[in-house]
Amino acid sequence: MDTPFYPPRRTLMGPGPSDVSPRVLEALSRDTIGHLDPQFIQLMDEVKRLLQYAFDTKNEMTFAVSAPGSAGMECCFVNLVEPGDKVVVAQNGAFGGRMKENVERAGGEAIMVMDDWGHAVDTDKVAEALKANPDAKILAFVHAETSTGALSDAETLCTLAKENDCLTIVDAVTSLGGSPLHVDDWGIDAIYSGTQKCLSCVPGISPVSFSNRALDVIRQRETKVQSWFLDINLLLGYWGGETKRAYHHTAPVNAMYALHESLTILKNEGIEKAWNRHHRNHGALKAGFEAMGMNFIVDESSRLPQLNAVTIPEGVDEAQVRSQLLDGYSLEIGAGLGSLAGKIWRVGLMGHSSTPKNVFLCLGAMDAVMTDMGAPINSGVAVKAARAFYDAV
């Protein structure tokens, strides 16, 4: 007999997935109905309305791509980029590099504006690149770099794009629900996110939104969108408008129940309150790490509260620490990606994971594990420092 799989109960404080609320898991497990059932169509409308709230947009074409954030990214690029198009891509981490791949695979030309990993996108350099490339069609950048924890100034970047008559594609995988984001006010044309970060839904679907300006460009393409699955012209028939829905693909019905529930939780908390909660718990984690003598790689001015990239104390075997945290505390934190592999940990405080309890657990466990190893940290002070932070604010 083959046997069931029972996952361990983890505390998820890596770069995502974050802890999923029991409410969301319960919603996920409700009875499956058809993807064209009138009640499912109503749910889709509700999800759209809640996503409009989360993105702060009135965009009609706000929906969930039936695949992870990487496909949400691809959906934005393959619809807006035609062969030969110039796209200015600001890269300050791993996901800017993935944007370049997307541009090139869609036949476009990527003009790269490079910043060091851990820094925000330099708006001056982007302004220069846009001026040097007046024929650029799109500016693409990552709002919150999941690989480093750096937050970039999306509002200024979108203003620059508009001044140069460019569309914008924005990666909000880690920012949505965790950091202020205003799609309409900032004039973002295409944006994608993930469900498994600050929304604390299960991984697998990707919230996106397209402005009417973007839709006009997509409708006037000279070539077909290279992906049938991600073609907005076809998806409009399933997710857009008020009229009868046309079958395109079978939506991930149960994942949509879960997304609806996680967005309902966000709406009922209030998104500003959620941003503040992320900010406050980050403050406590920071107080703890600093008391231990550990450093953040991102400057305070552009540091994401939901993703804390800290340098590994000298002489410490970082993989051993992670594995002891997992085995001894059932606690997951993240490793570094790309050029930061082996140099940093990424500690997430996203969505449902962003709680004082998790701050205490993480600081206490990291303190204990590293003290045991003889790591060069100030032992036994981190949890107290976090407690003092909460007591003071």
Residue 93, interface with its own copies (CB under 8 A)? no
Residue 267, interface with its own copies (CB under 8 A)? yes
Residue 312 burial (CB count, 10 A): 19
**Pick 161 or 258: Cβ nearer its own copies:** 258
Contact assessment for residue 198 and residue 278, using Cβ atoms and an 8 Å cutoff: yes
Task: Find the shortest distance in angstroms from Cβ 272 to its own copies.
Answer: 16
**Pick 1 or 392: Cβ nearer its own copies:** 1
Task: Find the shortest distance in angstroms from Cβ 271 to its own copies.
Answer: 13
- Measured torsion, CA atoms of residues 177, 181, 184, 189, in degrees rounded to the nearest 10: -90
Task: Find the shortest distance in angstroms from Cβ 74 to its own copies.
Answer: 5
**Pick 57 or 123: Cβ nearer its own copies:** 57
Task: Find the shortest distance in angstroms from Cβ 238 to its own copies.
Answer: 11
Distances (CA, A) of 142 to 92, 151, 166: 8, 8, 16
> Binder to its own copies among 93, 204, 305, 351 (CB under 8 A)?
204
> Binder to its own copies among 156, 159, 264, 339 (CB under 8 A)?
264
> Binder to its own copies among 48, 98, 280, 282 (CB under 8 A)?
98
> Binder to its own copies among 40, 95, 289, 389 (CB under 8 A)?
40
Q: What is the DSSP letter of 312?
A: P
Residue 212, interface with its own copies (CB under 8 A)? no
Residue 244, interface with its own copies (CB under 8 A)? no
Residue 135 burial (CB count, 10 A): 10
> Binder to its own copies among 125, 219, 224, 384 (CB under 8 A)?
224
Residue 115, interface with its own copies (CB under 8 A)? no
Residue 233, interface with its own copies (CB under 8 A)? no
Residue 207, interface with its own copies (CB under 8 A)? no
Residue 48, interface with its own copies (CB under 8 A)? no
Task: Find the shortest distance in angstroms from Cβ 285 to its own copies.
Answer: 19
Residue 170, interface with its own copies (CB under 8 A)? no
> Binder to its own copies among 133, 156, 159, 226 (CB under 8 A)?
226
CA distance 166 to 70: 23
Q: Which residues of 89-111 are buried (b: 16+ CB within 10 A; e: fewer)?
A: bbbbbbbbbbbbebbeebebbbb
Greatest distance between any 2 Cα atoms in the chain? 66
The site map against its own copies for 324-363 (x = CB under 8 A) is --x-----x----x--------------------------
Sign of CA dihedral 27, 209, 170, 108: positive
> In the range 51-80, which residues lie near its own copies by CB under 8 A?
66-71, 73-74
> In the range 373-392, which residues lie near its own copies by CB under 8 A?
none
Distances (CA, A) of 8 to 5, 323, 329, 346, 347: 10, 14, 11, 21, 20
The three-state DSSP-derived secondary structure of 204-227 is CCEEEEECHHHHHHHHCCCCCCCC
| Helices (runs of H) and strands (runs of E) counted in the chain | 14, 13
Residue 28, interface with its own copies (CB under 8 A)? yes
DSSP alpha helices (H): ranges in the chain? 22-28, 38-55, 69-80, 94-105, 123-132, 154-163, 183-186, 212-219, 232-239, 253-269, 271-292, 318-329, 356-373, 382-392
Number of residues that bind its own copies (CB under 8 A): 79
> Binder to its own copies among 170, 255, 359, 362 (CB under 8 A)?
255
Residue that the structure tokens 């702060």 belong to: 56
**Pick 149 or 302: Cβ nearer its own copies:** 149
Q: Which structure tokens are listed for 131? A: 């001026």
